[in-house]
Amino acid sequence: MSNFLQYTVFGIMLGAGYAIAATGLVVTYTTSGVFNFAQGAVGMIAAFCYWELVVASGLPVLAALAVILLVGAPLSGLVVERVLMRRLHGSTAERPVMVTLGLTVILTGLATIVWSPSTQRTVESMVSGQFGLFGINIQYQEVLLIGVAAVVAVALRILFHSTRLGHGLRAVTDDPQLLAMAGASPNRMSQYGWMLGLALAALSGVLLAPTQATGISIEAVTLLVVNGYAAAIVGRLRNIPVTFAAAIGIGLAENYVINYLLPHLPQNLQPDITVALPMVFLFIALVTVPSVRLRAVGRLTTARAPRVIGGRESLVAGVAFFAVAAVLGAAFNNTPFDGTTILSLGGVVMSLGIVALSLVLVIGYSGQITLCQFAFMGIGAFVMGKTAGGGSLLGLLAATVLCAVVGGLIALPTIRLRDLYLALATFAFADAVATGFFPDSHVYGSGGVSIGRIVLPGISFGGDASEFLMVTFFFVLSAWLVLAIRRSYFGRRLVALNDSPAAFATVGLNIGATKVVVFAVGAAMAGLAGALYGTVQGVVGTTDFDFFSGLMFVLFVTIWSVRTVTGAFLAALTYVVLNQVSPNWVGLFAGVGIILIGRAANGILGIEVLRVPLPWTKATSETMSGEPASLLGVGTGGESRAAG
């Protein structure tokens, strides 16, 4: 009985920390219409800053809390709202998702530079000591965390429902123009919301840091706050009391599972399940709690459907692209570069290009936000390495088919989800696979999986040039497939689904079947890319399919243009090149890119001055009017406005 009480108290304490983070999410969403994926990263930065001030510099606890919560976090919220979020009001669903994900990647990258992951950092309790109650010892730190969470929940409830400021904060997403007519500034209300939301994120990170017995780490603390996402979803992003209760329930469930269930499971599975639990709770919340219609501030901006050139022009473009690749293959064969070869890097570019094409199909055409393509890529590479000894056409086929099946199965419970909820579901799946499946000793473990080059009768792909051309061939085939789908009746259905799901269903089309098919095809392409990536690299492991790397790659595709084949290729090219130059350049590109996303709905290729007609495109009324098609066939399209 004493153990149960001890686990209960600790679970309530964890839940209280999640509750603070979750209420911060509710605040930012209520006041801006944007779900802040960076909430966990902000809490992580706050935890490390607290360590820096208190442990490394010897600053008193109260002084450190004042610097972080009253100065640092509010100023950060002010800058984030002004620079990144203000232009996202009323935007298409993927833009605020990508911007906040980009902020997550930037903050984790910054933390890696400032605080080396190889150094262990431990944060002591803010309040030392304990007392006995019902035969168990309760730490004062636990009481502090629970008490702060309760005070925050009550204070926010009073703020939003009993004060003029709270009414203004709630009204900014309902009708900002009416709010302005009442004498309040919508921009200022949104700023207040972000300042308060980031302060709560920082508070949760600081209070949860002492609970990490092995020390705070960048990834662990960032993902620790993710349980707050699940609580916010249960509260339907607006109900603070329900959000608080859900967070406490999640904290209890997590602690009971860890202490009662895990000891009865195989020892090698226990660490994997422990790290995957937050994402499991989030996924369960998403598929079981009725979703709400997400609001956007102001008028809704929708991206015009991409224009596609005909099959003949696409064929010519693909052949020309492959011919250029063949010339480059002959010119740079066996040319070394930084421990590898130029053509090996080229093979990585082409395999990642196929992943990017799958994002064009799923996000760009159908508007279904997916963040788990790297997870499918890792599954495909694993299947390739375990099928027929690795390096066979059978392995390519098995990787493609199995990922298609998994993608379809993942889509089934998320059929009713859209926009933010779908992004969160794929976010949860991606992290659960990356942290709970890939590290298992029977999958990749610490040594990785060896994958040989493909061998056909009379043809060997052992050389870098032949391997590069083979992967390029599959990239061109994938591009043709994506463009052919876009030109087909099914492609028009995808664009219609993206434009208006309600109208799509009204005319008798099946939303569920369409989503399952497009997810399955996108997952199959990512699985094929993973298998090809494995043949290029030779040995692949968990670091190749890191969760944050997957988020970064989605961000790259969005920055260039998630609606064009050209954007897919350029995203893969710049991602590989910048990683070779320096990871810092990757973060710099992402930082500039998330600012761009807020201003250019279609990414870099959607900027008017960059649209140049290509020589093989027909002179149509669209191209002659300054709306040219892009490489391999997809035009970049502009923006149109519809009533929100």
Model pLDDT for residues 8-48, shown as the tens digit of each residue: 888 888 888 888 888 888 888 888 778 888 888 999 999 99
**pLDDT band with cut points at 50, 70 and 90 for residue 91:** low
The share of the chain scoring above pLDDT 70, in percent, equals 86
Shortest CA distance to 295 belongs to which of 430, 420, 412? 420
The predicted structure's pLDDT at residue 374: 94
Pair 20, 47: CB distance under 8 Å: no
Distance CA 556, CA 572 (A): 8
What phi and psi values does residue 307 have, to the nearest 5 degrees? -85, 145
Burial 219-258 (b: 16+ CB within 10 A, else e): bebbbbbbbbbbbbbbbebbebeebbbbbbbbbbbbbebb
What phi and psi values does residue 131 have, to the nearest 5 degrees? -145, 160
Taking only the tens place, the pLDDT of each residue in 136-152 is 778 888 888 889 989 99
Distance CA 304, CA 294 (A): 21
Distance in Å from the first CA to the final CA of the chain: 55
The share of the chain scoring above pLDDT 90, in percent, equals 26
- The number of residues in the chain equals 644
Distance CA 164, CA 184 (A): 10
* Segment (H or E) for 424: helix 420-432
Contacts of 319 (CB under 8 A, 6+ apart): none
Strand boundaries in 467-594, DSSP class E:
539-540
Domains and CATH numbers, the chain: 2-117+135-288 (1.10.3470), 311-546 (no CATH)
pTM of the model: 0.83
**pLDDT band with cut points at 50, 70 and 90 for residue 213:** confident
Pair 378, 544: CB distance under 8 Å: yes
**pLDDT band with cut points at 50, 70 and 90 for residue 279:** confident
Contacts of 90 (CB under 8 A, 6+ apart): 296, 297, 298, 299, 300, 301, 644
Average pLDDT over the chain, rounded to an integer: 82
Please indicate whether residue 594 or residue 571 has the higher confidence score (pLDDT): 571
CA 43 to chain centre: 17
The predicted structure's pLDDT at residue 631: 46
Structure tokens at 529: 């890319």
Distance CA 267, CA 280 (A): 19
Lowest mean pLDDT across 41-45, 271-275, 432-436, 523-527: 271-275
